[in-house]
Amino acid sequence: MTWLDEPVRLRAGVELLRGADDHPLLFVPGRGTYVRLTPAAARLLPLLDGRITGTQLIDRAAAAPRRAGPDRRGAVRALLDALRRAGALAGDAEPPRRAGRGRRRLALPLPADRWARRPAALLRRVPPRLAAGAAALTAALALTLAAAALLAAPAAAPAGAATVALLAAALPLQLLLHEGAHAVACAALGVPVREAGFVLWVVPVGYVDCTDAYRLRGRAPRAAIALAGPFVDLLAAGASAAAWLLTGRSPGAPWQGLLLAQLVVLLTTLAPLLPGDGLHALEALTGEFGIRARARVALAHLLLRRPLPAVLAAVPARRRAGWVAYGVLAAAWTAATVLLAALVMGALT
C-alpha cells in the first residue's frame, strides 16, 4: 500500500491564484512556494477533497473519453507527485519553509519593505515608459564607457595596495545597492519582500527574497525586479570606467582593477545557468519556469536516450529544442565567465 491508496486532499490554506502570464498557480503558505499548474491540472484540484484516493483519481482520468494526446494516467500521477513534493497535500508533516540547501542564511532584522518604501514611492511617480527609457539609455551609456575603457588599455598590471583597498570598500557597498535595488523594484510594483540578508558561502552573498513576484501577471514587471540588481552593477562598472578614463588610463590604476572585478560580478550575476538574476530574468521574459531542470532532462534525453516524463513528452518538440539550446548556451556563458575571472585574477596578481 502506498500513499496513493489513501484519500488525497489539499492542505488547508493552500491558495489557487492567477499570476505569471495569467497561469494558475498554487501557493503553499507553510513552505512559501508556488507550483505552476496547467489549466487541466487546475480543473482537477476540486477533486482533491479527501473523498477519493490518488489511485482512483488516476484511474478516473485514464478512463475518461479523450482525443489523441499525452498519457493522462502518467500526467495525473506526475501532478500528484509534484503537489506532494511541494507540501500541498494534507496528511504529511507540516512542510517547513524552504531554505537554501547547504547554506546558512543570516536574515537582517530590519524588514526590507520598510527601508525600500520611500524610494519606491518616488519611483512610482515616474511614468513606466519614461522610467524604462531612462534606464535603457543609462545602461547603454554605462556599457559604452566600460567598453571604451577595455579597448583603451586591454592589458592590466598587478594590483597594488590602493586597488585592494578600493575593492574592499566598493564591492560590499555595491552588493548592498544591488540587493536594495531588488527590494525597491518589488516595493514599487507592490510585491512584498519576505526577508533580506546574507547567505554564508565561501564569502557572504546578499539576497532579497522576491518569491512573491510570481503573483505579477506581466512579464516586464517580473523581469524588471530580476534585472534591478544587475542594472546597479552595470552603473557601477560604468562609473569606474569613467573614473579610470578621466584619471590618466594608466595600467594597474585602482579604478581599472575595480572595473575588471565589477565586470566579472556582472557576468556572474547574469549567467543564465546559475540560479540568480540572469535565470530569473530569462524565465520572466520567456514565460518559462523551471527551465534549468527541464533543460537537464531534455539534454539527458538527447544524449543518454533517457525517456522523458509524461508531462514533458507532451510538450512540442520545438519547445524541448529550446531547452536544449538554453542548456548549451548557458554552459558556454558560464565557461566564458570562469575563464574571464581566471584572466582577471591572473592580471591583478
Task: Give the E-state strand segments of the chain in sequence order.
Answer: 7-9, 15-19, 23-28, 33-36, 49-53, 104-107, 196-200, 204-208
The reported pLDDT for the residue numbered 88 is: 92
CA distance 61 to 47: 11
CA distance 336 to 330: 10
In this structure, how many other beta carbons lie within 10 angstroms of the beta carbon of residue 83? 24
The reported pLDDT for the residue numbered 1 is: 66
In this structure, how many other beta carbons lie within 10 angstroms of the beta carbon of residue 248? 8
Helix (H, G, I), strand (E, B) or coil at 167: helix
DSSP line for 197-211? EEEESSSEEEEE--G
CA distance 110 to 116: 11
Question: Using an 8 Å Cβ cutoff, are 193 and 210 in contact?
Answer: yes
How does pLDDT run across 94-137, given as a tens digit for each residue?
Answer: 544 544 444 567 666 666 777 888 899 999 999 989 999 999 99
How is the chain split into domains, by residue range?
3-85, 104-348
Residues in contact with 278: Cβ distance below 8 Å, sequence separation at least 6, in sequence order:
226, 230, 269, 270, 271, 272
- Between 204 and 18, name the one with better pLDDT: 18
Most confident of 112-116, 213-217, 304-308: 213-217
How does pLDDT run across 53-88, given as a tens digit for each residue?
Answer: 989 888 887 776 655 445 678 788 888 988 998 889
The b/e string for 88-106 (b: 16+ C-beta within 10 A; e otherwise) is bbeeeeebeeeeeeeeeee
